[in-house]
Structure 1
Amino acid sequence: MINLNEVLKTLNDDKQQEFINYLDKKNKRKDAKNIQLVKLLLIDKYSSQEISEKIYGKQNKVALHALRKRLFQSLIDFTANTCIKEENSLDVKLIKYIIAARSFLQKEQIEVGYQILDKAKIIATEYQLFSILNEIYHTKIQYVHQYKTLNLEETICNFKENQQQLIQEDNLNIAYANIRKSLNEYQQKKTIIDIKKLIENTLKTQNISDLSLLSFKSLYQLLQITTISSSQKFDYYNLTSFATETYKIVENHTSKNKQLYYHIEILYLISNIFFRNKKFHQSLKYLQLMNFYMNENKQKYLKDFSSKHDLLLALNYNYIEKQEEAIQLLENSINKKSSNVIQNLDIYLTLIVCYFQHKNLTKAQNLLSKLYHTDKWYLEKAGLVWTIKKNLIDILLQIDSGHINLVESRLKSFKRNYFKHLKDIHQENVIAYLKLVEIYYKNPEKASSKEFYNRVETSFNFIDNKKEDIFMMSFFAWLKAKMTKQDVYLVTLELINS
């Protein structure tokens, strides 16, 4: 059965009210119960039996089931109408052109039909809408015998070129789907894959070499799957040049100001790459651009991207000694409650770290207690890397809070659940790190000893500071702070800026 509660939660407060108004106008009977059902579902504390009692005054499973089905259909209609109005107006407009043109052509109004198709072709070409162009060329060729002035050879050539573009975009979309599917399996510890090799093989097989020919959507997907590859190995350093080269293509792209959604997504990915490489000023530069385009076209995508933007802005602030501004941004973001589960989890975890580094352990503990789901749930929702970070932060926080009785169980659980997998993916540094944390928690006085210092030096495969991932360095900063008896936040900044 469809979980209507979850579906309704994807609508923000304004959209929920719009939906209720839509139902009110649609209802022909005064005793319609669909609005009452919506309001009860939004409260999200009643069982089906309780809802039935409130609506019908008794248990009536059959009537409630029928009411839910009708409500779901209304929700589909409302969502479709809203999307047509707000998101896909250009696509819908061009589809209307094609339908109108075909109608005129069927009625032998040939010149009118081809004029409409030509108008649609200009717009679709400008916006790189290959699937719509395919329909336009298909219709032109279908009726060419009635329009003698059309250059058939040229039209067929254009049709085939567009088909190649469409095939290339579809192949990249298929590759993107396969890579994301493999990543999900990877995150749930079912399989181990070399994502970078998979990407390289896919692009080679599909003969994708000239990135400037790709649409905005394809450029975004390509950049995203490459970022996924880097995130699994904490290797963002080697992605920087690719990201900047990609944005050069974006800046000179014919659809720069027309494919707004994917343009914003690309700017976010590039800004994140620079942040992970500790190039904060470059990251902030792309965030500023992102904010500019979020406010374009009457702030069309402002709400969709504000949480992602503010989270990355807060992360940058945290590492350029603007920690209070970072905390304020994150607290505001939590109060907004985005419908995106992963974004919410990222905001929670980032704010916990900021509180922790800011020595506000009580606030950090209180916020951590709200992440009460099982690791299995977090693996499915946020993935392996996020779940490991959450568990590591939990262990460090319990140590600093003096909850020694909890630390032992957390350590045992982490070893049991993740050590084997970390070995399989060659992340021995994480294992070595946790072993050192365990030594410290059992014997804090050893942290400042030469023996412990030597063990730290020989336990990690350190790489150049410029190449090391910022989050990996932040975890190590906690350990170094214990060794040098300094403030964690100051040591973090010192490590990152060294």
Structure 2
Amino acid sequence: MDLIVEIIETLSPEDRKDFSVFLKRHKNIKDRKDLELFDLLSRKGKIKRVDLLLKLYPGDKNLEAYHATRKRLMRQLMEYLQLKKKKGETVSEGYILNLISTAEYLLDNEKLEAAWNMLKQAEELAKKAENYSILNTIFSIEIENSQRESAPDLKVLLEQKRKYQQLAIEDDNANIANQLIRYELNKSLSTGREINIDAIIKDVLKQYGLEDIVIKRPRLMFNIVSITRSAVLAGKQFYSFEPYLIAKYNEIEEGTGFNKYNHFYKVNFLYMIAHVLYRNKKFDKAESYLKLLHEGLDEYNRSHYSMLYPKYVLLLAAVCNYSGRSAPAIELLEKLVNNKKIKLNTAQLLNAYLNLSTYYFQQEAYQKSIRVFQNVQHSDQWLMKVMGFEWVFKKNIIECINQFELGNSDIVEQRLKGIDKNFKEYFNRDLYKRVGVFLSLVKKMNDRPDIATTKEFQNLVDNSFEFIDISQEDIQAITFYGWLKAKMQRRKYYEVLLELVKG
């Protein structure tokens, strides 16, 4: 695809209007071919280069001028996106680098007092952002110019540089430790046993002398927790992750605390805690952390609102749904996917569709559930690359059991064959063995619609699954098992599901 078109597609309708105004900021330029090109490329449907040439340069099809216009438009887009990013960040690395560049320019032109003031401003911002690499660059410039008028004391500069060089070394050690933690977690995960999260991380941090340091620096702790969470999501070991995650958040809050400059880590911590509590079926606690998250999104000029608000809504809807409040859950997602003011990225939109389809299905709105996926105009192969196996697999199962509920046995049979062909390799893995069992049971019900209520089928279900304590069972596994149980008991699925979730 055309790179410029790909960038334009990421812009919301409001952003596109804003960018058009941005392009018109030079009032003395009358012939804005870049604006014309932007308008043409913003339209739905592909437009061929020959048609673009005819519209932009009728008569002579000036290819050289066209390429020059494209380059200008790309530069303008990049400049606009950089400015947009700066507005959305509490402390922008780009902004600090601009201060440094301007200060160096002022030093070269003997505007010393202004230069030192600008370097001091950059220094303070870099400290607050914990960007010690940039900070060392600033000190190097200051030391190099320390004999000039208005310069800070050289000994103070040297002492400061030594201090922040040490912090930069800690950052480097933390990066190495992060990779080692990732390696050890994945190694433990491959054994299929419960991961001893705390022991693995403590051992690695001890090797690099980081045990006390990470608690004092939210960014370092957040990086470790994010890596750990990736392993937890892969292994679905949410139960052991919950106490570790909450303990680390509380240690930071009770220690250095969070501030304006590391607020990003606070709101993401709150999201991760709410998510793990949801996955562990502790919905009241999850909702209390979601409330804190929502309050946090409104702080500091709502700088992280657009990034986290869609995830907040998705999680709140899930908590509502599995707490027995399906109507507000559905309403939250319907508003989210139809809200033109909120720009959802591809993953957020597709997750919203999947959840909405699931909630419709649980309320027996089967046609509505099926229609949700009509909005997804992509092949499963494309979706696998973007969303991964688990998302595509869930989509296929929801579509399949919707057709079962509608009595379309031929379609169900075709869907089951397609799932078996495309995903069979996954069913041999420990993590997904129960999925293969579930599909085999759906096939039996599709072949014999009356079998679900027989003792024979109930015994088959009981002997097919290895059940663990319901408090530790994954909520998504319960979701599929609940549908089977509802069929066996001739009861409404959502009622049975809520009973299972409550334990």
Same fold (TM over 0.5): yes
Q: Name 1:473's counterpart in structure 2.
A: 478
Q: Secondary structure of the equivalent of 2:375? A: coil
TM-score normalized by the length of structure 1: 0.86
Q: Secondary structure of the equivalent of 1:349? A: helix
Change (3 A) 1:72 1:97: closer
- State how far apart, in whole Å, the 2-side matches of 1:103 and 1:50 are: 45
Whether 2:262 is the aligned partner of 1:259: answer: yes
Q: Name 2:250's counterpart in structure 1.
A: 248
Q: Secondary structure of the equivalent of 2:407? A: coil
Residue type matched to 2:326 in 1? Q
Return the offset for 1:28: 4.5
Whether 2:281 is the aligned partner of 1:309: answer: no
TM-score normalized by the length of structure 2: 0.85
Return the offset for 1:15: 1.8
Q: Secondary structure of the equivalent of 1:26? A: coil
Whether 2:40 is the aligned partner of 1:40: answer: yes
- State how far apart, in whole Å, the 1-side matches of 2:139 and 2:379 are: 53
2:278 to 265, 275, 279: 275
- State how far apart, in whole Å, the 1-side matches of 2:116 and 2:5 are: 48
Return the offset for 1:119: 6.2
Query: Does structure 1 retain, via aligned residues, the 8 Å contact 2:139–2:157?
Result: no
Return the offset for 1:96: 5.7
Q: Name 1:330's counterpart in structure 2.
A: 333
Change (3 A) 1:6 1:351: same
Return the offset for 1:364: 0.8
Whether 2:243 is the aligned partner of 1:238: answer: no
- State how far apart, in whole Å, the 1-side matches of 2:78 and 2:103 are: 29
Return the offset for 1:110: 9.2
Return the offset for 1:156: 5.3
Q: Secondary structure of the equivalent of 1:68? A: helix
String of CA shifts for 1:270-322, please: whole Å, max 9, x gaps: 11111111111111111111111111123333233221111111111101111
String of CA shifts for 1:96-153, please: whole Å, max 9, x gaps: 6655766787799999977876665455434423223222343455456887662577
Summarize the alignment of residues 200-211 of structure 1 with structure 2, pairs less than 5 Å apart.
208-210=210-212
RMSD: 3.5
Q: In terms of mean alpha carbon deviation, does 286-295 or 196-205 score higher? A: 196-205
Query: Does structure 2 retain, via aligned residues, the 8 Å contact 1:212–1:249?
Result: no
Q: Name 1:299's counterpart in structure 2.
A: 302
Return the offset for 1:40: 2.1
Q: Name 2:164's counterpart in structure 1.
A: 159
Return the offset for 1:344: 0.3
Query: Does structure 2 retain, via aligned residues, the 8 Å contact 1:352–1:364?
Result: yes
- State how far apart, in whole Å, the 2-side matches of 1:202 and 1:8 are: 44
Change (3 A) 1:196 1:467: closer
Length, aligned pairs only:
487
- State how far apart, in whole Å, the 2-side matches of 1:287 and 1:18 are: 32
Summarize the alignment of residues 33-432 of structure 1 with structure 2, pairs less than 5 Å apart.
33-48=33-48, 49-57=50-58, 61-87=63-89, 91=93, 94-95=96-97, 98=100, 121-142=123-144, 150=155, 154-155=159-160, 157-171=162-176, 208-210=210-212, 212-213=214-215, 215-251=217-253, 252-336=255-339, 338-432=343-437
Return the offset for 1:257: 3.3
Query: Does structure 1 retain, via aligned residues, the 8 Å contact 2:143–2:158?
Result: no
Query: Does structure 1 retain, via aligned residues, the 8 Å contact 2:106–2:114?
Result: yes
Unaligned residue ranges in structure 1 (runs of 5+): 184-191
Q: Name 1:187's counterpart in structure 2.
A: none
Change (3 A) 1:385 1:244: same
- State how far apart, in whole Å, the 2-side matches of 1:468 and 1:119 are: 52
Change (3 A) 1:418 1:66: same
- State how far apart, in whole Å, the 2-side matches of 1:107 and 1:454 are: 86
Return the offset for 1:169: 5.0
Return the offset for 1:441: 1.4
Query: Does structure 2 retain, via aligned residues, the 8 Å contact 1:5–1:44?
Result: no
- State how far apart, in whole Å, the 2-side matches of 1:286 and 1:53 are: 57
- State how far apart, in whole Å, the 2-side matches of 1:118 and 1:209 are: 32
Query: Does structure 2 retain, via aligned residues, the 8 Å contact 1:277–1:467?
Result: yes
- State how far apart, in whole Å, the 1-side matches of 2:279 and 2:424 are: 25
Return the offset for 1:419: 1.8
- State how far apart, in whole Å, the 2-side matches of 1:84 and 1:299 are: 13
Return the offset for 1:467: 0.8
Q: In terms of mean alpha carbon deviation, does 296-305 or 382-391 score higher? A: 296-305
Query: Does structure 1 retain, via aligned residues, the 8 Å contact 2:91–2:261?
Result: no
Query: Does structure 2 retain, via aligned residues, the 8 Å contact 1:34–1:67?
Result: yes
Q: Secondary structure of the equivalent of 1:25? A: coil
- State how far apart, in whole Å, the 1-side matches of 2:320 and 2:475 are: 14
Query: Does structure 1 retain, via aligned residues, the 8 Å contact 2:5–2:41?
Result: yes
- State how far apart, in whole Å, the 1-side matches of 2:309 and 2:359 are: 20
Whether 2:461 is the aligned partner of 1:456: answer: yes
String of CA shifts for 1:366-422, please: whole Å, max 9, x gaps: 112333422211111111111111111111111112222211111111111212223
Residue type matched to 2:171 in 1? L
Change (3 A) 1:2 1:131: farther
- State how far apart, in whole Å, the 2-side matches of 1:397 and 1:281 are: 30
String of CA shifts for 1:31-77, please: whole Å, max 9, x gaps: 32222222222222142243333333466655444322221111011
User: Identity of aligned pairs, percent?
Assistant: 28
Return the offset for 1:175: 7.4
Q: Secondary structure of the equivalent of 1:239? A: helix
Q: In terms of mean alpha carbon deviation, does 82-91 or 446-455 score higher? A: 82-91
Residue type matched to 1:303 in 2? S
- State how far apart, in whole Å, the 2-side matches of 1:44 and 1:173 are: 44
Query: Does structure 1 retain, via aligned residues, the 8 Å contact 2:317–2:330?
Result: yes
Query: Does structure 1 retain, via aligned residues, the 8 Å contact 2:274–2:289?
Result: yes
Change (3 A) 1:32 1:100: closer
